[in-house]
Amino acid sequence: MTKLRVHNLAVSLDGFATGEGQSFETPFGHAQHRLMQWFFPTRTFVSMSGHEDEAVGAGTRGVDDAFAAATGDRIGVEIMGRRKFGPQLGPWEDESWRGWWGEEPPFHTPVVVLTHHERPDLVVGETTFLFRDLSAVDALSFATSLADGLDIRLGGGPTTVRQFLEADLVDHLHVVVVPILLGRGVRLWDGLEGLEERFTVEVTASPSGVVHYVFARKPQ
């Protein structure tokens, strides 16, 4: 049974999953990299980023890494919102933008990019970006057809995750609360009153100062 999973979705203590003012230079707006500081020291990140010290097993192996490492486990496809792919709004002025991730993106699977402005499929390294104008339900069906029996990662951003939560399509939601106050940006939790009734919730505080929330959907 294919599940829809969210991993490592970081929010500030005041609930913002991204800051204000996204641009090519600042994918997270004024939040900059502060929401992901907990992630950078982990073994998982160090391995992904291909640092030469990877070979010597660098990086932490504590609770933050345990959660980080689960991100890619048995994932066959990712769904993301257009704002995770790039900062552009409206029709594509050109199609030269190939995402934030360089020539070998970390996905290595099909990635469904939800957008009202479709464009041709884009192959970058081992990743294929598929630009589709689909509802949450239809996107999940399409992604399931591509997943080869594995799970689907819902990669963000917050507006996209909220849409899938509102439609009650998310099976596993891992949120990382970072002890900073961003004050402005895009909120994750708006419009989700009573969400906890549909999930069991497990909470773990990390020595790094972040708190890991795991929402697991109750059997229906």
Asked if 28 and 12 count as a contact pair (C-beta separation under 8 A), the reply is: no
**How many C-beta atoms lie closer than 10 Å to residue 4's C-beta?**
22
What is the rounded CA–CA span in Å between residue 217 and residue 65?
Answer: 23
184 binds a second copy (CB under 8 A): yes
Among 13, 58, 137, 167, which residue interacts with a second copy (rule: CB under 8 A)?
Answer: 13
Residues 150 to 179 in contact with a second copy, rule: CB under 8 A: 177, 179
Near a second copy by CB under 8 A, which window of 43-51, 73-81, 100-108, 202-210?
202-210
Among 137, 167, 205, 216, which residue interacts with a second copy (rule: CB under 8 A)?
Answer: 205
**Binding-site size, a second copy (CB under 8 A):** 27
Contacts by 197-204, CB closer than 8 A, 24 or more apart: 198/168, 199/173, 204/63
Between strands 122-124 and 110-114, the pairing is unpaired
What is the rounded CA–CA span in Å between residue 189 and residue 216?
Answer: 16
Least distance to a second copy, CB of residue 13, Å: 7
Among 194, 218, 219, 220, which residue interacts with a second copy (rule: CB under 8 A)?
Answer: 194
Least distance to a second copy, CB of residue 46, Å: 24
Q: DSSP character for 218?
A: P
Whichever of 118 and 168 has its CB closer to a second copy, that residue is 168
Residue 30 structure tokens: 């004024």
Query: Which are the contacts of 83, defined by CB distance < 8 A and separation ≥ 6?
Result: 18, 22, 157, 159, 160
Least distance to a second copy, CB of residue 75, Å: 26
Least distance to a second copy, CB of residue 182, Å: 6
Q: Which residues are near a second copy by CB under 8 A?
A: 13-15, 177, 179-184, 187, 189-196, 201, 203-205, 209-211, 213
